[in-house]
Structure formats: structure tokens, C-alpha cells
Chains A and B, each alone.
Chain A
Amino acid sequence: MTLGSVPPKFKVSIDRDQCMDCGRCIENCSYGVYRREGDKILIESRKCTACLRCVAMCPRDAITLTEKPVDYRSHPVWTREVREDIINQARSGKIILSGMGNARDLPIIYDRLLLDACQVTNPSIDPLREPMELRTYIGKKPSRLKFRKTESGDVELETKLAPNLKLDTPIMIGHMSFGAISLNSQLSMAKAAAERGTYMGTGEGGLHKALYPYQDHMIVQVASGRFGVNIDYLERGAAIEIKIGQGAKPGIGGHLPGEKVNEEVSRTRMIPLGSDAISPAPHHDIYSIEDLVQLIRSLKEATEWRKPVFVKIAAVHNVSSIAAGIARSSADAVVIDGFRGGTGAAPKVFRDHVGIPIEAAISSVDQKLRDQGVRNEISIIASGGIRSSADLAKSIALGADAVYIGTAALVSLGCRVCGNCYRNLCPWGIATQRPDLVSRLDPEQGAVQVSNLIKGWTLELSELMGAAGINSIESLRGNRDRLRGYMLDEGMLEILDVLPAGA
């Protein structure tokens, strides 16, 4: 063993004076950090992922967790991460896997955009006293209306409206498949989506029977593996989403490790028990925009043109032209997933280096669609790294119709963003299929938490709009006049079409 081991990432210790020796840490840690020997609880820090399950469950606050107890000689270029990746690859000869979203320390544009409020010349609006409209329709809208006069002289609408999804709040829950996450996680989110008048995605894992009661609030996904797709599945969804790519790993397919494919997952996905579910990089029937247009039309035909069809793409360099192409098809919404989008498993090099930030993508897509006069043809759903109601408000001001949240919803269920989703050991019962772990997540309680999160953000969005003198979400959408850039370079300000603070 010429390479030896790398230093442990975390150091776990127990304050023995506080500890009451209840053993909850042992029971709760699915990574095997704790074990009992005789009358002592022993600790193996190297196995720790900082999921914080033990800290959360310890009744005496006896556990302390420290990051990087041993560090390398500091070096600005040869960081700890770079050195360890090399050591690990020298050992394995493999692609490095990772979970969650982009973990590089790149500036976050949302944090450098500032929102506006009213003073004197226009009154702010108090959402407690005045109506505040967040209702959002996702789908194709006509670019103009035609009316006709009836014989009795009444004015009648001639234009027919395409089917749209009605959202009570512009927050939707993105696609996280059954398989990647547990059924209890999906159930929690589905109940919350139904309660809040919004929608959630199934991911590419099919639709489990237990979710049928919430199907009117679910968007069913058709991805390159076509797992779980049949006519029954398509007909159950409120809308259908074709996933071309995702922000965490643009240009490559999906990978669900066989450990996570238990009987229920296998049945729902329609794949053999215990087999890896590998979705190919491209759809094998889509090699051009024309092919995509055909698939959209086929799905629409199959469901008698009653359901909106979304197309999800990763935010890559020419995202705006791709979106403009999609806008010219029968698609009703384009989902743009920025490079901070999360995932259950992705090669680290993709997660951290491929794609562009969602803020720039929203901006350039909205602009391109307007330049080409097709903005009303399609709704824009932004996703990938939406962390708060401020990110939400800024996304809409840049031009999005609604957002998908993913990681934020999981955090509301207990996730501590440890990033080990691909190991099937999630001690919070989220990214795992192990029955003992899954049972830790009570869908009733989980639904309350997710619903509370959406409610809280919705209230904050109302307050932000009211403070800006706006009582309808339409007037925030694309209202870049109400954003200012702070410490953003000139090129980025131009892309965002936002003035610098003070201007």
C-alpha cells in the first residue's frame, strides 16, 4: 500500500460526562461510525459523512463533529480536494462519483443581485390588507387574442386557450425519482404539493401506486431510459416532462445503483430486481430538434392533447437557442436546470465543471424568446440551486415563470446535504431504499415540513412583492428594472440586463 490512507474528513467525539450511554448514536448511524464494545461506545471517525443524524438524535448534545481534523500543507493550487481526487483515482482507476449539486466555490450570482422596495413616490402594498396574486399558469399562451361580436351584441372570445397548469404559488418540486429517493420522501412531497396547490415531478422512476391519489399534482417524466413509461403512466400525470438533460450532469445519462433497486423500485421502473438502472446519454430516438418535436407530438397524441408537455434541458452554453427551438415545437414549457442542480449520483467532474449558472440561463433564454417573438409560446421553469424565497423572487424578476426546488425540499425533510445519496445509506430515510431507514421518515410529518417550507417562501415572496409595490406576479416576471447588480462585472450585467447598484 504505497499510497496509504487519506486523512479523515471529520472528527467525531463524545463528551463522556454528558453521554448517558443510550446508544441512539449507534442505532441512528447507518454509516457505522459508532459501535459498542463492552460498556463503551467506540467511534470510527473515518466513516463519518457529516449527515448529522447522530447529533440531531443525541438527547444530551454530547456529540461534537469537527471538519478537517488533520489538514494538508495549505496550498492555493494543490488543494486538499485535488490531491485526494488524484490519490483516489490512482487507487481505483475510476470516474469519481458525487452526490448533490456543484460544490465548487464559485460566486453565486443570486447573492450579487439586490431587490427593490418602494419609498414615498409609490406606496408599498401590504399583503395582509390587500390582495396579492401569485397564481401562475404554466403552458402555452396565445400571443394575441381575437374577439367576435355575437348577434346579440356581446363580445365573445374567438381564441382557444391551450391547457395550462394552474399553480397557487410559483414554487414546484422538481423531479427526484423513486429509486433515487424513497417512497416516503415522494409521498411527503406529493402531499405537500397537493396541499399547496402546486406540482411535483416523478423523476424517471415511474409512478408508484401509493402516489395515485396525488396524480393530479404530479408531472410524469419521460427520460432516456423510459423507465416506468406506459400509457397508464402518461395518462395519470397532470403534465408530461421529457428530460433531455440535467444541470448536475449535462450530456450524460442517469445511473441508479443496483443496491437501490429493490422489489418495489423494480416493479415501478419495470426493470429487473437489483440491476443497475442506466439511462443512456441521449434519447435513442432523439438525435435532432426534429426528433424531439416528434416525441412531443407523439406524447400529445397519446394523451389526446389534454396535457401540457415540458422539456427539461441542462443550462449549457447555447441554452437560449435550444430553448428557442423548443418554443417552436408543441412543447408548453421549457425547464432549464442550472449547473448547481442536484442529483443522486453524478461524476464529480460533470457536477462541478459542466454547464452555466441558472441566473444567466434564465436571462438569456427570456431575452432570446422575446427577440424571436415566441415568449408566450412557452413557459420558463428555472431550477438548479434555488435556496430561498429571495432566489425565487430574483429568478422570476429575471424572466422565469416558476421554479423547481429539489435540494431545498429534501433539506426540509431532514437532509443535511452530506452528499452521499448514491450509497443507499441515507440515515434520514430520504436517498435510500433500505426499509429500516425509509421507515424513519413519516410521510405525514414530512408533508407538513415540505408544505411549511413552500408556505413560508410564498409568504416571503408576497411580502417582497408588496414592498416593491407589485400585487400580481405577472408584474414581477421579467421586471429586471427592480433588480440591481452588486459586484458583478460589466459582461455579466449585460447578460442579465441589470443595472449596477446605485444606477
Chain B
Amino acid sequence: MCGIIGFIDRTKSRMDGSSIKAALSLMNERGSGDGAGYAAYGIYPDYADYYALHVFFDNMAESKTKVDELLQQWGKIVHQEEIPTTPQPGIKKVHTPWRYFFKPSEDLMAGRMASENDVVTYIVMEVNANVKGATIFSSGKNMGVFKASGWPEDVANFYMIENYKGYIWLAHNRYPTNSPGWWGGAHPFNLLNWSVVHNGEITSYGTNQRYVEGYGYKCTALTDTEVVAYLFDLLGRQHELSHEMVVRALAPPFWDDIDRMPAKEANLNKAIRLTYGSALMNGPFAIVVGTDDGIVGFTDRIKLRPS
């Protein structure tokens, strides 16, 4: 099940979160009240050059101290605060949502961490895998994810998302089967400026996970969608493939279709399947991915979703 929505204002004019809240609330029958979330791009113009790190803390003592230390070691925190929330009867506040605006130090960028994106990716993986009681669930610039366990309206009201204005909005209403109750398991899943909402289940998860983990990503969210964000980051950012080529790798044409293509096109598609076979996603899915410059929607190869 699950319900997903994504839209973009092509003029990059920003709209507040009230419309997407209303839209997502129409799909309540697709969820179970166990998770909902929103991603919005363009919401932090005052900190546009800084990474907005959204973190769930289980406690503000040990967990937060460790994250603070790690961030200070790798760069500078220019601002931090608790993400404003309003109590909702339907939401039990099991985590404290927090945000940092962060800039990695240039003099530490070397080797495998040659860019600020590499450093931030490393920090996200390190915290999520090794800092108990802390989860970085959003790490892009001038964008943010807001999510929790609860019904869509409750989550929207909890974060007061009508106070944010973005030019891209994604939203997700969850019917979990994997890890209900945990806020980190709600969608959207994010890394840097990639945000993913997903309806379905990825039967190739084990293959995809082994593939991305070979490149330093760590799957810690206990649910399959997370790996899609890392696949986009690996292929789209590190390997510099266009969005179209990334989708072609994740949901490629069938061999029968490739065999019928003109030689040049067939060769290109064959190369993608040979090179990125481990990135191919199987099972039923409809996915919307948010990026800086647009949204990408795609489905599984035999259209088992959307349903």
C-alpha cells in the first residue's frame, strides 16, 4: 500500500505546505497511521549554502554530544535548534527532532572524501550506523524532510509544515510492514539532496544493499527504500550519470527490447545492464525522487505499481 505524491513549481516559486497536507490526507485509506512524511526544497533560503542536517535524538545527553563532536571535528555548525513542533494527540514524541546548519571544512577534504558532499555522506553513515540514539534523516542544502509515526495531517500539524515554503514537495503516507513505529522508517528517505518516496517493496534489496555497501554506504533504516537514495547518490552523483541514465540502470528495458534496438542504442543499454546489474531494482514499486532541479518518477519494469 502506501500513498505517494510529488509536485514541483517549474518557475521555482515557492508554495507553503498546506496544499500537500490536504492532498496527502485524501489518501488515508492507503496508510495505517504508522508513518507519514514530507520533503520540501527551497525552505531554508537564509542558509542555502549550508547542509541542513535533520536529526532524531533519543536523548539530548549522550547521543547529541557525540553528534556535536563529530560535526565540530569535520566542520562548522553555524546554527542549530530543535525543529519547532506542536503536540498532537495522535503523535507520541519518542524522538526530539533537531536541525543543524553545517559546513564541512575544506582543509579536511582529501582522498575518498574529496568534496563536501563526500564528507556529509560519511557523517550521515557514521552517525546512523554507530551513534546510538541518533539518526540523521535529512542532509541536503536548502531542503528538509519532516516525518514521524502518525497520520498525514497529524504529522503535518506536528511540524507545522504550512510554515515552510518550497518549490518541490514530496509526501508519503505509510502502511508499514517492515518497521512500524520507528520514525526513521517513515518516508521520505533522504541523502544530500536526494529524497525518495516509495510505494511497494524491493525484492532485489539484498543485491542492491550489497552493491551500495561496497561503496561505503550503510543501510541502517531497517527498510528497503533507503537503498534507493544511496543508489541515486552513487550513480547520479559519484558516477555522474544523468537522471535518465540512473532510471535506465534501476529499471532497465528487457533484453528482448534491447535486442530489437538499433545497434548503438542496444550497445548502450547492454553496457548499462552489464555495469549496473546489481543496481537493478526488482519487485513492485512506484517511486518519486526529489533532486535539486526537479523530480523523477519511475515504476518497476512490469508495472506492478502503482496500485
Give A residues with C-beta under 8 Å from B.
118, 121-123, 125, 130-131, 133, 135, 137, 141-145, 147, 155-157, 159, 161, 164, 370-371, 373, 375-376, 397, 468-472, 474-482
| 8 further interface pairs, Cβ-Cβ under 8 Å (given A144-B275, A371-B214, A469-B283) | A123-B284, A145-B239, A155-B242, A373-B215, A375-B214, A474-B280, A476-B207, A478-B278
Total residue contacts A-B, CB cutoff 8 A: 115
Residues of A contacting B268 in the complex (Cβ-Cβ under 8 angstroms)? 155-157
Given contacts A478-B210, A480-B210, contact A470 B283 (CB under 8 A): yes
B206 close to chain A: CB less than 8 A:
yes
CB nearest neighbor in B for A366: B210
Interface residues in B207-237 (C-beta closer than 8 Å to A)? 207, 209-211, 213-215
Residues of B contacting A133 in the complex (Cβ-Cβ under 8 angstroms)? 254-255
B17 close to chain A: CB less than 8 A:
no
Give B residues with C-beta under 8 Å from A.
177, 200-201, 203-207, 209-211, 213-215, 238-239, 241-242, 245, 254-256, 264, 267-268, 270-278, 280-284, 301-302, 304
**B203 near A118 (CB under 8 angstroms)?**
yes
- What is the minimal beta-carbon distance from A184 to any residue of chain B, in angstroms? 34
Partner of B205, one of A131, A376, A481: A481
Given contacts A144-B239, A475-B203, contact A123 B304 (CB under 8 A): yes
**A147 near B245 (CB under 8 angstroms)?**
yes
**A482 near B206 (CB under 8 angstroms)?**
yes
Residues of A contacting B280 in the complex (Cβ-Cβ under 8 angstroms)? 472, 474-475
Given contacts A123-B284, A137-B274, contact A478 B302 (CB under 8 A): no
**B204 near A143 (CB under 8 angstroms)?**
no
Given contacts A471-B301, A475-B280, contact A142 B271 (CB under 8 A): yes
**A468 near B203 (CB under 8 angstroms)?**
yes
**B203 near A470 (CB under 8 angstroms)?**
yes
**A475 near B204 (CB under 8 angstroms)?**
yes
CB nearest neighbor in A for B304: A123
Given contacts A122-B283, A131-B302, A145-B271, contact A373 B206 (CB under 8 A): no
Residues of A contacting B255 in the complex (Cβ-Cβ under 8 angstroms)? 133, 135
CA distance A122 to B278 in the complex (A): 20
20 pairs, A vs B, C-beta closer than 8 Å:
A122-B283, A122-B304, A130-B302, A131-B254, A141-B277, A142-B271, A144-B238, A145-B245, A145-B272, A147-B241, A156-B264, A159-B275, A164-B274, A373-B215, A469-B284, A474-B280, A475-B282, A477-B277, A478-B210, A481-B206
CA distance A130 to B204 in the complex (A): 17
Residues of B contacting A159 in the complex (Cβ-Cβ under 8 angstroms)? 271, 275
**A122 near B200 (CB under 8 angstroms)?**
yes
Please list the 6 inter-chain residue pairs (A to B) with the smallest Cβ-Cβ separation, ordered nearest first: A481-B206, A475-B204, A474-B277, A475-B282, A469-B203, A479-B206
CB nearest neighbor in A for B285: A122
Given contacts A122-B283, A469-B282, contact A131 B256 (CB under 8 A): yes
Residues of A contacting B238 in the complex (Cβ-Cβ under 8 angstroms)? 144
- What is the minimal beta-carbon distance from A432 to any residue of chain B, in angstroms? 41
CB nearest neighbor in B for A369: B214
CB nearest neighbor in B for A159: B271
Residues of A contacting B245 in the complex (Cβ-Cβ under 8 angstroms)? 145, 147, 155
Partner of B275, one of A125, A142, A472: A142
CB nearest neighbor in A for B214: A370
Partner of B274, one of A147, A161, A470, A480: A161
Residues of A contacting B276 in the complex (Cβ-Cβ under 8 angstroms)? 145
Residues of A contacting B211 in the complex (Cβ-Cβ under 8 angstroms)? 478
CA distance A480 to B213 in the complex (A): 14
**B214 near A373 (CB under 8 angstroms)?**
yes
Residues of B contacting A376 in the complex (Cβ-Cβ under 8 angstroms)? 275
Residues of B contacting A468 in the complex (Cβ-Cβ under 8 angstroms)? 203
Given contacts A135-B255, A373-B214, A476-B207, contact A125 B278 (CB under 8 A): no
**A370 near B210 (CB under 8 angstroms)?**
yes
CA distance A415 to B236 in the complex (A): 53
Partner of A157, one of B204, B267, B282: B267
CB nearest neighbor in A for B256: A131
Residues of A contacting B214 in the complex (Cβ-Cβ under 8 angstroms)? 370-371, 373, 375
- What is the minimal beta-carbon distance from B184 to any residue of chain A, in angstroms? 19
Residues of B contacting A155 in the complex (Cβ-Cβ under 8 angstroms)? 242, 245, 268
CB nearest neighbor in A for B302: A130
**B272 near A477 (CB under 8 angstroms)?**
no
CA distance A388 to B264 in the complex (A): 39
**A141 near B210 (CB under 8 angstroms)?**
no
Residues of B contacting A479 in the complex (Cβ-Cβ under 8 angstroms)? 204-207, 210
CB nearest neighbor in B for A140: B274
CA distance A472 to B264 in the complex (A): 23
Given contacts A142-B271, A474-B273, A480-B206, contact A125 B254 (CB under 8 A): no
CB nearest neighbor in A for B258: A135
Given contacts A123-B304, A131-B256, A471-B282, contact A143 B207 (CB under 8 A): no
CA distance A155 to B205 in the complex (A): 30
**B204 near A470 (CB under 8 angstroms)?**
yes
Residues of B contacting A375 in the complex (Cβ-Cβ under 8 angstroms)? 214, 278
Residues of B contacting A476 in the complex (Cβ-Cβ under 8 angstroms)? 207
